Amino acid sequence: MSDVVERFMRYCAIPSQSDPFNAQEVPSTRSQFDVSRVIAAELKELGAENVELDEHAYVTAFWPASKGCEDLPTLGFCTHVDTAWQSYGSPVHPQIKHYEGGKLTIGYDRHGREVYVSPETNPQLEHMVGWDLVTADGTSLLGGDDKAADAMIVSLLARLKEHPEIPHPRLALSFVPDEEIGHGAALLDLKKFGATFGYTIDGGPLGEFCYETFNASEVIVKAKGLSVHTGTAKGTLINASEALMKFHQLIPAQERPEYTEGYDGFYYLSYIKSSCEEGEAGYILRDHSKEIMDKRKQTCLDAAQFVNRQYGSSVLSVEIKDQYFNLADVVTKPENKHLIENARKAYEKVGVPMKFVPMRGGTDGAQLSFRGFAAPNLSACYYNAHGVREFVPVPELEKMVDMLEALIGLYAQPCA
- Calpha distance 209→324 (Å, rounded): 19
- Which residues face 238 on adjacent strands? 226
Instruction: Give the count of alpha carbons within 13 A of 2, CB side only.
Output: 22
416: buried, middle or exposed (CB in 10 Å: 19+, 13-18, 0-12)?
Answer: exposed
- Catalytic residue, from 42, 145, 179, 364: name it: 179
- Calpha distance 17→179 (Å, rounded): 10
Are the beta carbons of 135 and 106 closer than 8 angstroms? yes
- Calpha distance 409→416 (Å, rounded): 14
Residue 179 a catalytic site member = yes
**Three-point CA angle 95, 98, 104, nearest 5°:** 90
CA distances from 229 to 226, 232, 236, 276, 403 (A): 10, 6, 10, 11, 67
3-state helix, strand and coil shares in percent for the chain, rounded to the nearest 5: 35, 25, 40
- Which residues face 66 on adjacent strands? none
Residue 3 a catalytic site member = no
Are the beta carbons of 106 and 156 closer than 8 angstroms? no
159: buried, middle or exposed (CB in 10 Å: 19+, 13-18, 0-12)?
Answer: middle
Task: Fill in the DSSP letter of residue 270.
Answer: E
- Catalytic residue, from 42, 82, 146, 364: name it: 82
CA distances from 243 to 218, 297, 332 (A): 19, 19, 44
Chain CA centroid to CA 121, Å: 22
- Which residues face 224 on adjacent strands? 278
Neighbours of 63 (CB within 10 A): 25
Pairing of strands 316-324, 391-393: unpaired
Catalytic annotation, residues? 82, 179
